[in-house]
Amino acid sequence: MNIHEYQAKDILRAAGVPIPPGEIAHTAEEAEAIATKIGGMVVVKAQVHAGGRGKAGGVKLAKTPAEAKEIASKILGMQIKGLTVYTVLVTAAADIASEAYVGIILDRATKKPVFMVSPAGGIDIEEVAASTPEKILKLPVDTRYGLQPYQASELGFFLFDDVKKVRAASKIMMALYDTFMKNGCSLAEINPLVVTPAGEVVALDAKMSIDDNELDRHPELAALRDETAEEHSEVEARNANLTFIKLDGDVGCVVNGAGLAMATMDLVKYYGGSPANFLDIGGSSNPEKVVNALKIITEDPSVKVILFNIFGGITRTDDVANGIVTATKANPLKIPIVIRLTGTNEEIAMKILTENGFTASSDMDEAVMKAVELAKGGKAA
Ligand code: GDP
Ligand code: MN
């Protein structure tokens, strides 16, 4: 789960990272009032889960409260990378002498949190990595011992020469690592970490992603979820207890179990198609889940065919068949459906489906081939 910049800043500020004061606004008038309260120059910043807001026109300096109001009225409602801006952060502006990058990601290869720091901050770190990789220092942390002060200094010295700044940066590294570990982050990033002309080291942007599996033990973080900032179908699926990820293709897949879902997507690709989603209805036998799954998939206009691939173990395939019949009676399908069922109560399931005008097979290759062909507009074999 991603959280907004202002939420990440609140967490980092509480951990001791120097961050200019700010508040959020949902209207231009609120933005003006906050700017008045802060006094002096402010920055108005779009709160959407996307990087590169600066380049997209979602981060603007304002000299007066009136200007903050005008800028906020332009940024609110704006689209950035397909996301609508409903909230802006109005924060005290800092003068910038230099910009650095500081981030931690969970690296699955080394199974460790890895620091990445660069004195070339402000811009995309991917760009720095591609053109001048020598400007990035990577440092894996052994979680048994945590980030050691000497490592924090090493990171600080990679960014700055001046010892005072190195100390300030090291303190920020320790706080960032602590925050990353305490909150079950998969990513925590400060870009830019700036030095002001007065020599202060300050974080001007913050990004945090929380591992979804941590949310049960962190209700305070789960409460930060902003559904308006998320893919609509993914929100709906989560609320229906389905595991769903939207993809770019046109074969809508309904599968039980993550392993079978992966195998199905592989097979769709193998036969020249492209999956529209990853949807796992799980191991239970709840026809309601099938109804919800079909609803979510058919709302996506890019889906040209629906492919059911169910292996009945604990899941009873007759329950799935009943789910398909119920769902399609309530909302008749406008696109073809290909069903593959095998396992528990397979004969009963086939009977239910045939009686209701569906065809189904128990062969996975055959079903996937057929679905791919239908998605391409061809006649099914
Ligand atoms: P991003 O583009 O989504 O990463 O948004 P950022 O918060 O990083 O802002 C983009 C850029 O705007 C930064 O790299 C800075 O150059 C600039 N910026 C952000 N806050 C301030 C500020 O307080 N003062 C000044 N002068 N520039 C700022
Ligand atoms: Mn940034």
Q: 93: Cβ below 6 Å to ligand 1?
A: yes
> What spacing in Å lies between the alpha carbon of 380 and ligand 1's midpoint?
54
Q: Give the separation between CA 124 and CA 136, rounded to whole angstroms.
A: 12
High-pLDDT (> 90) share of the chain, %: 81
Global confidence as pTM? 0.82
Residue 137 pairs with which residues in a beta bridge? 117
- The helix/strand count (H/E) of the chain reads as 13, 19
Q: Give the separation between CA 232 and CA 128, rounded to whole angstroms.
A: 33
| Helix or strand holding residue 177 (H, E) | helix 163-182
Cis status, amide bond into 20, omega within 30 of 0: no
> What spacing in Å lies between the alpha carbon of 134 and ligand 1's midpoint?
24
Q: Give the separation between CA 260 and CA 266, rounded to whole angstroms.
A: 10
pLDDT of 228: 86
Q: Give the separation between CA 92 and CA 253, rounded to whole angstroms.
A: 48
Q: Chain-wide mean pLDDT for the chain? A: 94
**Mean pLDDT (whole number) for 146-152:** 97
Q: 43: Cβ below 6 Å to ligand 1?
A: yes
Question: Mind listing the pLDDT tens digit for each residue in 221-262?
Answer: 999 999 888 888 888 888 888 888 889 999 999 999 999 999
Query: 90: which 2 tokens?
Result: 């109005």
pLDDT of 123: 81
High-pLDDT (> 70) share of the chain, %: 98
Residue 202 has pLDDT above 90, yes or no: yes
Question: Mind listing the pLDDT tens digit for each residue in 160-199?
Answer: 999 999 999 999 999 999 999 999 999 999 999 999 999 9
Question: Mind listing the pLDDT tens digit for each residue in 3-20?
Answer: 999 999 999 999 999 999
Where do we find the tokens 């990440």?
Answer: 8
Residue 284 has pLDDT above 80, yes or no: no
Q: What is the DSSP string of 180-248?
A: HHHTTEEEEEEEEEEE-TT--EEE---EEEE-GGGGGG-HHHHTT--GGGS-HHHHHHHHTT-EEEE-S
Q: What is the DSSP string of 64-104?
A: SHHHHHHHHHHHTT-EETTEE---EEEEE----SEEEEEEE
Contact 145, 181 (CB under 8 A): no
Q: 96: Cβ below 6 Å to ligand 1?
A: yes
Which of the following is catalytic: 32, 99, 189, 346?
189
Residue 69 has pLDDT above 70, yes or no: yes
Q: 120: Cβ below 6 Å to ligand 1?
A: no
**Mean pLDDT (whole number) for 78-104:** 96
Which of the following is catalytic: 99, 101, 177, 373?
101
pLDDT of 231: 80
pLDDT of 379: 57
> What spacing in Å lies between the alpha carbon of 241 and ligand 2's midpoint?
33
Residue 27 has pLDDT above 50, yes or no: yes
Closest atom of ligand 1 relative to the 96 alpha carbon: 26
3-state class (DSSP) for residue 275: strand
* Domain boundaries, given as residue ranges, for the chain: 21-92, 98-222, 231-375
pLDDT of 233: 84
Q: 53: Cβ below 6 Å to ligand 1?
A: yes
pLDDT of 115: 98
> Which CATH entry fits the domain spanning 98-222: 3.40.50.1980, 3.30.470.20, 3.40.50.280, 3.40.640.10?
3.30.470.20
pLDDT of 165: 97
- Torsion angles phi and psi, residue 103, rounded to 5: -150, 155
Question: Mind listing the pLDDT tens digit for each residue in 260-281?
Answer: 999 999 999 999 999 999 899 8
Q: Any catalytic annotation for residue 86?
A: no
User: How remote is the C-alpha of 356 from its chain's centroid?
Assistant: 40
Class of domain 231-375 (CATH, top level): alpha beta
Q: Of 230, 158, 130, 147, give the one whose Cα is nearest residue 182.
A: 147
Closest atom of ligand 1 relative to the 45 alpha carbon: 7
Residue 380 has pLDDT above 70, yes or no: no
Q: What is the CA radius of gyration of the chain?
A: 25
3-state class (DSSP) for residue 55: coil
pLDDT of 288: 83
Residue 378 has pLDDT above 70, yes or no: no
- In sequence order, the 6+-apart residues with CB closer than 8 A to the CB of 104 are 113, 114, 115, 116, 141, 176, 177, 180, 185, 187, 188, 189
3-state class (DSSP) for residue 139: strand
The protein residue with its alpha carbon nearest to ligand 1, atom 26, reads 95
pLDDT of 381: 45
- In sequence order, the 6+-apart residues with CB closer than 8 A to the CB of 251 are 268, 273, 274, 275, 276, 303, 304, 305, 307, 371, 372, 375
> What spacing in Å lies between the alpha carbon of 198 and ligand 2's midpoint?
21
> What spacing in Å lies between the alpha carbon of 88 and ligand 2's midpoint?
15
Question: Mind listing the pLDDT tens digit for each residue in 351-364?
Answer: 999 999 999 999 99
Q: 306: Cβ below 6 Å to ligand 1?
A: no
Indicate the pLDDT class of residue 285, thresholds 50, 70 and 90. Answer: low
Q: Give the separation between CA 76 and CA 65, rounded to whole angstroms.
A: 16
Q: 94: Cβ below 6 Å to ligand 1?
A: yes
Closest atom of ligand 1 relative to the 55 alpha carbon: 2
Tell the CATH topology of 21-92. Dna Ligase; domain 1 (3.30.1490)
> What spacing in Å lies between the alpha carbon of 23 and ligand 1's midpoint?
16
pLDDT of 330: 87
Closest atom of ligand 1 relative to the 91 alpha carbon: 23
Q: Any catalytic annotation for residue 220?
A: no
